[in-house]
A = this chain, B = another copy of it.
Amino acid sequence: MVVTTDTIVSGVHFVESDPPESVAAKALAVNLSDLAAMGAKPRAYTLSLALPKDWSSQETILWLEGFVCRLAWDQRKSEVHLIGGDTVSSPGPMCITITALGAVRAGSELRRSTARPGDLIFVSGSIGDAALGLKYIAGELPDLPLEFGDALVNRYRFPQARTELGQQLVGIARGVADVSDGLVADLEHICVASNVSATIEASSVPLSSAARAAIDVNPDLLAVALTGGDDYELVFAVPPASANVIQAISKTSSTSLTAIGRVDEPDPKNLGTYAHVLGPNGSPLDLTIHGYQHF
């Protein structure tokens, strides 16, 4: 049994104007994503809801209807069950904590700490959509066609945990994290835990056509994609000999899995920087921020 807990707060982890369906999807997905990064099958979860006390009962009921409706839908899809919780009123913003329980064969759980020099680094799906979606909501991508904007916002509002993939990686991947804080930051979490460094090529990082369109207009947005987070993809290391197994998983599960770099020995000259990102011309990209700074 593995246990994980994640809290989302209005105004921090989601936008106050996000619909309740999106808040439900996010609250559950961020936790299922943590289970996926451990290779666990979701089993059950508890839910703690702190609701703003200045909402009218009608407002609260309306919000809760959207919230529980989506939660019911998502939990059916993920075969996970709400087993209890707590509901309180708060003088502050909405604050939601889910604690999720998952099952994985003892000793075979995926960890951050097991990547080794020489391993290849893969990432699932596409990176940067959610962070760019947040910028789109904020009106910062006015030139992006509507259908691309919608696609990005959808990734931000309705993240999908890589539940199946996580379980398929058991016994194959070593050094696994979900991309929540940002690709570079989460890769660094693997590096620190595994005592290795890593180099990825920015041009290899998979982008959706919507993200590609936004970055084509403004190349500075590449850094946003690489460090913005909320992707809920899996980034993981595998021994080179297992690369063909990853290709097979990608094919049978119709999940895009892309090699983006390699694991190296720890670099004594660059203490504190564990993940290096090479730009299109082969020289290191200078990313001032590697991911979301919680404090």
Contacts and interface: CB of A to CB of B under 8 A. Distances in A.
Interface stretch (A2-10, A137-145, A197-205): A2-10
Given A46-B99, A57-B295, A97-B48, A91 B5 contact: no
Given A46-B99, A97-B48, A86 B3 contact: no
Copies per complex of this chain = 2
A3 B83 contact: yes
Given A99-B99, A295-B57, A3 B91 contact: no
A90 to B, nearest CB: 5
A23 interface: no
A9 B92 contact: yes
Nearest to A93: B92
Q: Interface on chain A toward B: helix, strand, loop, or mixed SS?
A: strand
* Chain A interface size, under 10 / 10 to 19 / 20 to 34 / 35 or more: 35 or more
A229 to B, nearest CB: 13
Given A5-B46, A99-B99, A12 B88 contact: yes
A33 B7 CA distance: 23
B101 A5 contact: no
6 contacts: A7-B95, A7-B97, A9-B90, A12-B88, A89-B294, A97-B97
Interface of A: 1, 3-9, 11-13, 44, 46-48, 50-51, 53, 57, 60, 83-93, 95, 97, 99, 101, 294-295
Given A5-B84, A9-B92, A90-B92, 12 more contacts: A1-B1, A3-B44, A3-B46, A3-B101, A4-B84, A5-B48, A7-B86, A48-B99, A87-B294, A92-B93, A97-B97, A97-B99
